[in-house]
Amino acid sequence: EAEVAQSPRYKITEKSQAVAFWCDPISGHATLYWYRQILGQGPELLVQFQDESVVDDSQLPKDRFSAERLKGVDSTLKIQPAELGDSAMYLCASSWGPRTYEQYFGPGTRLTVT
């Protein structure tokens, strides 16, 4: 069964350093999502792509976070510089389209900022 791939699975970085996460969605899925999940909370949407275009980045801290999906397939989420409060699980998900479709999640990247 097709799965959403994410790497790395775990990342430890020092504050003020740059960090990047990669996501490869299920083939054919037009919509890609990046979520942040703080321990004990539900996922919070950071950015949503439809093909290569951003359709929602209202919760993305744009002073330090950036996301791209250049060819409308895989995607990269970057944090520069990382802060202690960025420690969380970063989840990528994809779906066939934006409306009334279930989302398929990757295993996530656990980020620890020291």
Partner 1 sequence: SQQGEEDPQALSIQEGENATMNCSYKTSINNLQWYRQNSGRGLVHLILIRSNEREKHSGRLRVTLDTSKKSSSLLITASRAADTASYFCATDTGANSKLTFGKGITLSVRP
CB atoms within 10 A of CB 85: 10
Smallest gap, in angstroms, from Cβ of residue 93 to partner 1?
Answer: 8
Alpha helices in the chain (DSSP H): none
Residues near partner 1, by CB under 8 A = 4, 33, 40-45, 48, 50, 55-56, 89, 91, 93, 98-108, 110
User: What three-state secondary structure class fits 49?
Assistant: strand
46, 32 Cβ separation under 8 angstroms: no
Q: Would you say 108 or 113 has its CB closer to partner 1? A: 108
Residue where the block lists tokens 């951003």: 54
Q: Would you say 44 or 80 has its CB closer to partner 1? A: 44
Q: Would you say 106 or 113 has its CB closer to partner 1? A: 106
Smallest gap, in angstroms, from Cβ of residue 24 to partner 1?
Answer: 14
Residue where the block lists tokens 């744009």: 62
Smallest gap, in angstroms, from Cβ of residue 81 to partner 1?
Answer: 26
